[in-house]
Amino acid sequence: MDKQNGFKPYIPAEKVTPELTVTSILMGILLAVIFGAANAYLGLRVGMTVSASIPAAVIAMGVIRILMRRNSILESNLVQTIGSAGESLAAGAIFTLPALFLWAAEGKTDKPGLVEITLIALIGGLLGVFFMVPLRNALIVKEHGILPYPEGTACAEVLLAGEKGGAKASTVFAGMGFAALFKFIIDGLKVVSGEISLRVKGYAGEIGTQIYPAVMSVGYICGARISSYMFAGGVLSWLVLIPLIVLFGGEAILYPGTAPISEMFADGGASAIWSSYIRYIGAGALAAGGIISLIKSLPLIVKTFGGALKSMSGAGGASNARTEKDINLKVVLIAIAILTLLVWLIPAIPVSLIGAIIIVVFGFFFATVSSRMVGLVGSSNNPVSGMAIATLLIATLVLKVTGSTGIAGMCSAIAIGSIICIVSAIAGDTSQDLKTGYLLGATPKKQQVGEILGVVAAALAIGGTLYLLDSAWGFGSSELAAPQATLMKLIIEGVMDGNLPWALVFTGVFIAVVIEVVGLPVLPFAIGIYLPVQLNACIMVGGLVRLALDKMKHKDEETKEAVVSDGILFCSGMIAGEGLVGILLALLAVFGVDKIFDLSARFGIPSAVSDIGGLVLFALIILTLLKFSVWKKRDKQA
């Protein structure tokens, strides 16, 4: 039992079961490479990646429990811990490193070498893991019950369902099956729209929703309160700021836009305005929200480090319980120091001493922010690119002021941004995994070692993956638009050339300040500004369903808790099911066979029909959730 909050994990601290075994290491490394490659393609194509923690857990559970007939939930947990690192490292890498390929295509520099890509990915990943070691107690243990970590909790529920069997397992696997079917209909067969938007004539605002079961499930797990903050940020950006930009912009050409605002809106709608202007406002809000979050967290962080230092010296009565053992803090600090020196000294990495210092300072800062952020909204909605934007703004300015300009300065800035982006992604993933382990009773030290193994495996594979994809289609092409990396490139060039839209960035900063002054959580609101309103709306729907079940009258409190719990189980399954099919579709796309299933292109389904079908499917998603939560209990009572 945890002495700090009275929490008792599934596997008690005094019980020792297999965790970091040869089986879990080999399976985890294989999944890290596969998920890393698949998500690299997916992210470069659409600008978003799929969280791999739950799919990895499901695969591990299936192989270890069913095929190998071994009964160790902590061994399955280590597989997903190692495997999910590949997806997170790929996310950080693809949002930034392709900018180097884009500059090479323009003749400004040579393509980055495989050694450079591997080292940047490896150092960023290792720093992300090591930064989270001293933060685990503060963010995972002491804030248990405050930060929900939806995907970490969902992953634990999936593993527990497989362990316990019976009704809980059937609820989880039903969610997996339905979500897999819904996801395949939307993105595989493409017979219905995955996103529906509504415009009002004469008004430039836009509202709508995505149809994806996993996104709605995040809203259900987080609850109505957090979902509403995100949705409010989306409403501000899409129904207030975008209409104002269109109204006052008119025929003006405002950087970073390259065409008149009226023309941009006519051609691309509100999305074009969001892509060119609102994302800078969102980046400013995220940066300010991160700084505010760090300042508010400083007392807890200082206390955490103090406790860790006391435990190093044998003071403070530190617990020797298995479930409270981390990698030794001395080892962590030495490793961080060595990695910082390597960033500076290795010729293949174009980073100076000042750049190395920026990486350590901002790396720790954004590791903390990223962990809190995924604790609120989950890893899939962790806007690591937004944090990378904030880093690039400051790093490029510092480099410019210190005389590092031109293409050399820009390459240095993207290397710094890449490492920070990977740090943020890995820190978020590590947080979710440690939350899963905390609930299950895993050994933190073994999970941290597992994260390191996953990072090393994925780093060795990511360079070859990027080269393969660039050779096949080329970054910036219609097949691989690399939207995030293109934006990073634009920001660096804007700062170096002195024409970055600072007014937009500071607009976001002061919006965040206002939100903090009125007493609302800044980060969920800032995330809402940065992300598309359609995604926020889908999360809000899940939050409203959760609110309805919370408010619904039941015969007793136990029944009410069972209804909500079954809903969480079903949503956990839906996140897993969509994640598995998302990985499958990414692999099909890599091998070029995804068009075989595309019925929309084959039969020419009208967009109106596709939209109606999407709404019907969304209603079915909600109905299935109700079926396996509130209606399930009513059937039992009857």
What pLDDT does residue 499 have?
74
Between the alpha carbon of residue 85 and those of residues 184, 269, 367, 559, 581, the distances in Å are 25, 37, 15, 38, 19
Q: Is residue 554 predicted with pLDDT exceeding 80?
A: no
Instruction: Supply the angle between the helices 22-46 and 483-497 in degrees, to the nearest 10.
Output: 70
Residue 605 scores a pLDDT above 70: yes
Q: Give me the residues paired with residue 25 across strands.
A: none
Q: Rounded CA gap, 340 and 335, in Å? A: 9
Per-residue model confidence (pLDDT) at position 434: 95
pLDDT at 315: 45
pLDDT at 304 over 50: yes
So what's the pLDDT on residue 146?
Answer: 80
273-299: pLDDT as tens digits: 998 899 889 888 887 887 787 677 677
What confidence category does residue 541 fall into, taking pLDDT thresholds of 50, 70 and 90? very high
Neighbours of 568 (CB within 10 A): 22
Length of the chain counted residue by residue: 638
Q: Which of 134-148, 175-189, 427-441, 615-629 has the lowest mean pLDDT?
A: 134-148
Specify the pLDDT at position 498. 79
In Å, how far are 92, 369, 430 from 337, measured between CA atoms?
22, 21, 20
Q: How far apart are CA 102 and CA 110, in angstroms?
A: 10
Q: Which of 310-319, 529-538, 559-568 has the lowest mean pLDDT?
A: 310-319
Which pTM was predicted? 0.76
pLDDT tens sequence across 172-194: 888 889 999 999 999 899 999 99
Q: Which residues fall within 8 angstroms of residue 326, CB to CB, at 6 or more apart? A: 133, 134, 136, 137, 444, 445, 448
What one-letter code names the amino acid at 191? V
30-39, 347-356, 375-384, 501-510: segment of lowest average pLDDT: 375-384
Q: What would the pLDDT profile of 421-435 be if each residue is shown by its tens digit?
A: 999 999 999 999 999
pLDDT score, position 548:
92
Whether the CB-CB separation of 605 and 191 falls below 8 Å is answered with yes
- In whole numbers, what is the pLDDT of the chain averaged over residues? 86
Q: Is the predicted pLDDT of residue 585 greater than 90, yes or no?
A: no
Model confidence at 318: pLDDT above 70: no
Q: What is the mean pLDDT of residues 369-396?
A: 77
Asked if 455 and 85 touch (Cβ cutoff 8 Å), the reply is yes
So what's the pLDDT on residue 633? 56
N- to C-terminal Cα separation, the chain:
38
pLDDT the model gives residue 145: 79
Written as six digits, the tokens of 565 are 């719990």
How many whole angstroms separate alpha carbon 281 and alpha carbon 528?
11
How far CA 497 is from CA of 214, 400, 483, 494, in Å, comes to: 41, 10, 21, 5
pLDDT score, position 316: 45
Q: What is the pLDDT of residue 505?
A: 86
Per mean pLDDT, which range of 261-275, 290-304, 445-459 is the poorest? 290-304
- Structure confidence at residue 297 (pLDDT): 67
Q: pLDDT grade, residue 313 (50/70/90)?
A: low
| Residue range 5-63, pLDDT digits in tens | 568 889 998 888 989 999 999 999 998 988 888 778 777 876 667 677 777 887 887 77
Phi-psi region at 257: left, alpha or beta (left = phi > 0; alpha = psi -120 to 50): beta
Q: Which residues does residue 206 pair with via DSSP β-bridges, in sequence order?
A: 199
Q: How far is CA 80 from CA 25, 141, 198, 636, in A?
A: 10, 20, 39, 34
Percentages helix, strand, coil for the chain, rounded to the nearest 5? Answer: 75, 0, 25
Give 333: exposed, middle or buried? Use CB within 10 Å, 0-12, 13-18, 19+: middle
Q: Residue 73 and residue 387: Cα distance in Å, rounded?
A: 34
Q: Is the dihedral of CA 557, 561, 567, 570 positive or negative?
A: negative
Give the separation between CA 466 and CA 295, rounded to whole angstroms.
37
pLDDT over 90 for what percent of the chain?
Answer: 42
d(CA 197, CA 192): 13
More confident residue, 103 or 556: 103
Contacts of residue 180, Cβ cutoff 8 Å, sequence gap at least 6? 577, 578, 580, 581
